Amino acid sequence: MPKHDTPLLDELEKGPWPSFVTDLKRQAEKKPECFDILGQLELSYRDKVTHWKHGGIVGVFGYGGGIVGRYSDVPTQFPGVAHFHTVRLNQPSSMFYSSAKLRDICNLWEKYGSGMTNMHGSTGDLVLLGTTTPNLEPLFYDLTHDLNQDLGGSGSNLRTPSCCLGRARCEWGCYDTQNLCHSLTMHYQDEIHRPAFPYKFKMKFSGCPNDCVAAIARSDFAVIGTWRDDIRIDQAAVKGYLSGEFIPNAGAHSDKDWGKFDIKAEVLDLCPTGCMWMEGDTLKIDNSECTRCMHCLNVMPRALRPGLQQGATICVGAKAPILDGAQFATMTVPFIEVNPDTEFAEIIEVIEKIWDWWMEVGKNRERVGETIMRIGLPTFLKVMEITPTPQHVKEPRSNPYVFWQEDEVEGGWDRDVIAYRKRNAQ
Amino acid sequence: MPTIEHNGSSFTVDEDGFLTGNMDAWNETWVDYVKTVEGITEMTDEHHKVIEILRDYYKKNGIAPMVRILSKTTGFPLKRIYELFPSGPGKGACKMAGLPKPTGCV
Ligand code: HEM
Ligand code: HEM
Ligand code: SF4
Ligand code: SF4
């Protein structure tokens, strides 16, 4: 496959940021089909339309997802991308790799594919970009037999779960996000590989409310670490911040002169609930009013730590705009223990209650967040066997269109207008 | 569009091997052909039941049924459907039943 003229793309080799165009050109020396990737992309830059055909259904036997089929609509011009299927590999939790593993994957991908990848897809998968239908089964055979590596999810199923790096190297991890992510991924292999749901379903796991994997915005089932006792304060370290020995926010703002650290302006006055104060140079927190927003811990990581009674909050139903509008996840379980000793049975119970309900009442291509919107949070909490609490809402409803269950109302709904007329003549 | 020749019949298909055009092009020869490419060794009554239900549902409703409706009407759990059709209900059974290619964020 020859090199194509790419004057528009060549512009993108200028500037300091790593250029994908330069990388593709380098890869094309080994894998000439990369010239056709560049060629077709240049054509799209000129035409301002995509040159991929609609859809594509390919896969491997036994699985109903994992591979996204794709075909060029200009295959004679760019035969190297006539077939250009994408293979999703389930990444290790938090994406820690050994060079040996990556080398194995690269060697395999140079054998069966374009050599081009996406590290990683937004959902978390290691994405192998571009191969042909006949290569899929041999690639899958080598992946599973030699690399002990499985595909990720696609379609109306449980997509590949992902997590923040949590306790691997973060002092705020309120539970072992990697263990939970890995364990649930293994537990739900069937749901990942064989679509059985009304629509896609995603899980993400963050160790604390900073939510580094954006679980609250990008997963139907978000597990976000928190604690329920007191923030641990090291008063000596607080003095260290006051004296300037420690830099606020671990030096995150050192590129600009923000003046001397001012605990009142930068912490106390910014606490969303105003539950912090100083007595001399001793820091006080009224933990019963703290919403665990993370701000004070983020500013003074050496002085403040999450409490010791750690667990997580479960939020359900985040989704992108289609069809009914974008949603963040709704707080459903305020606090749950994340317990590896029970193999996370408590969390699995929550997941399966959601699935049992949604698989039954969810409409075709309806995300669980839309099902909750359509049927209502009260019904959702009822099927979840969760008692509604004030924490379930940001504010109470302002309209009075309140439904009552018949058994909640004395006398029920069966009323006799003749009896009524006896009391109120016409 | 490519064409597929099998036992004297010819079929117009897309890149993924799904029948294009209307459902009328479908016949037993097509079923026999898909069998050879979708990893099915022998056709059983269970295979035919799935195909029949898919075709009926599509004719009535103009869409393929959701997976759990297929399971409910056939009485086959998803596991059984994959045993019958290794590529699953979409790529395997719908293709064999002559339904259009599944779309969306697959
Ligand atoms: C048994 C007698 C009555 C019944 C069953 C009745 C019923 C209703 C209902 C169902 C509404 C709509 C409430 C809403 O959802 O916004 C309403 C609103 C209203 N009613 Fe009555 N009504 C009665 C007597 C009266 C009388 C005697 C007056 C005037 C002297 C009146 C004036 C109004 C007005 C002005 C509104 C509109 C309020 C608004 O701006 O929303 N109603 N009524
Ligand atoms: C000339 C006759 C009527 C007048 C002037 C009248 C006026 C109103 C007004 C002002 C409202 C409030 C609308 C709003 O929400 O802003 C209302 C609501 C309502 N009216 Fe009437 N109404 C009349 C006849 C009726 C009749 C005959 C019925 C029932 C058979 C009825 C049932 C209702 C109900 C149920 C609502 C509340 C609707 C809702 O949920 O918002 N009205 N009416
Ligand atoms: S979400 Fe919290 S625990 Fe996880 S990496 Fe980010 S700050 Fe650390
Ligand atoms: S975590 Fe947030 S709410 Fe709690 S004390 Fe710190 S700043 Fe205030």
Tokens 């009328």: give the residue.
B24
Q: What number is the average pLDDT over the span A65-70?
A: 94
Query: In A178-305, where do the E strands start and end?
Result: 203-206, 221-227, 232-233, 276-279, 282-285, 304-305
Following DSSP, what letter does each residue of A10-26 receive, concatenated?
HHTT-SSSPPHHHHHHH
Q: What number is the average pLDDT over the span A261-279?
A: 98
CB A242 within 8 A of CB A261: yes
- What residues 344-363 of chain A have any CB closer than 8 A to a CB of chain B? 359-360
CA distance A62 to chain B (A): 5
A9 contacts: CB under 8 Å, gap ≥ 6: A21, A38, A41, A42, A45
Distance A418 CA to ligand 1 centre (A): 24
pLDDT band at B68; cut points 50, 70, 90: confident
Q: What is the pLDDT of residue A124?
A: 97
CB A70 within 8 A of CB A53: yes
- The alpha-helical segments, DSSP class H, found in A284-339 are 295-299
Report which of residues B87 and A2 the model is more confident about. B87
Contact B16 A59 (CB under 8 A): no
Measure the CA–CA gap between A27 and A114, rounded to whole angstroms: 9
Q: For ligand 3, atom 6, name the residue with the nearest CA.
A: A212
What is the share, in percent, of chain A residues with pLDDT greater than 90? 98
The least confident of A106-110, A264-268, B38-42 is: B38-42
Over the stretch A39-56, which tens digit does the pLDDT of each residue have?
A: 999 999 999 999 999 988
Answer whether residue A162 shows pLDDT above 90: yes
Residue A316: strand, helix, or coil: strand
The least confident of A13-17, A400-404, B23-27 is: B23-27
**Which DSSP state fits B13?**
B
Q: What is the pLDDT of residue A356?
A: 94
- What residues 70-99 of chain A have any CB closer than 8 A to a CB of chain B? 71, 83
Q: What is the pLDDT of residue A235?
A: 98
Tell me how far CA of residue A58 lies from CA of A21, B31, B104, in angstroms: 28, 18, 14
A200 interfaces chain B, CB cutoff of 8 Å: yes
pLDDT band at B23; cut points 50, 70, 90: confident
Q: What is the pLDDT of residue A115?
A: 96
**A166 close to ligand 3 (CB < 6 Angstrom):** yes
Q: What number is the average pLDDT over the span A132-146?
A: 97
Answer whether residue B106 shows pLDDT above 70: no
Token readout for A325 is 């509008």
CA distance A282 to chain B (A): 55
Token readout for B93 is 């059974």
**A300 close to ligand 4 (CB < 6 Angstrom):** no
pLDDT band at A270; cut points 50, 70, 90: very high
Measure the CA–CA gap between B87 and B101, rounded to whole angstroms: 13
**Average pLDDT score over chain A:** 96
Answer whether residue A28 shows pLDDT above 90: yes
Q: What is the pTM of this model?
A: 0.84
Phi, psi torsion values for A313, nearest 5 degrees: -105, 140
Answer whether residue B59 shows pLDDT above 70: yes
B61: left (phi over 0), alpha (psi -120 to 50) or beta: alpha
**A275 close to ligand 4 (CB < 6 Angstrom):** yes
End-to-end CA distance of chain B: 22
Contact A57 B101 (CB under 8 A): yes
**A273 close to ligand 4 (CB < 6 Angstrom):** yes
Measured between beta carbons, the chain A residues lying within 8 angstroms of B79 are 190
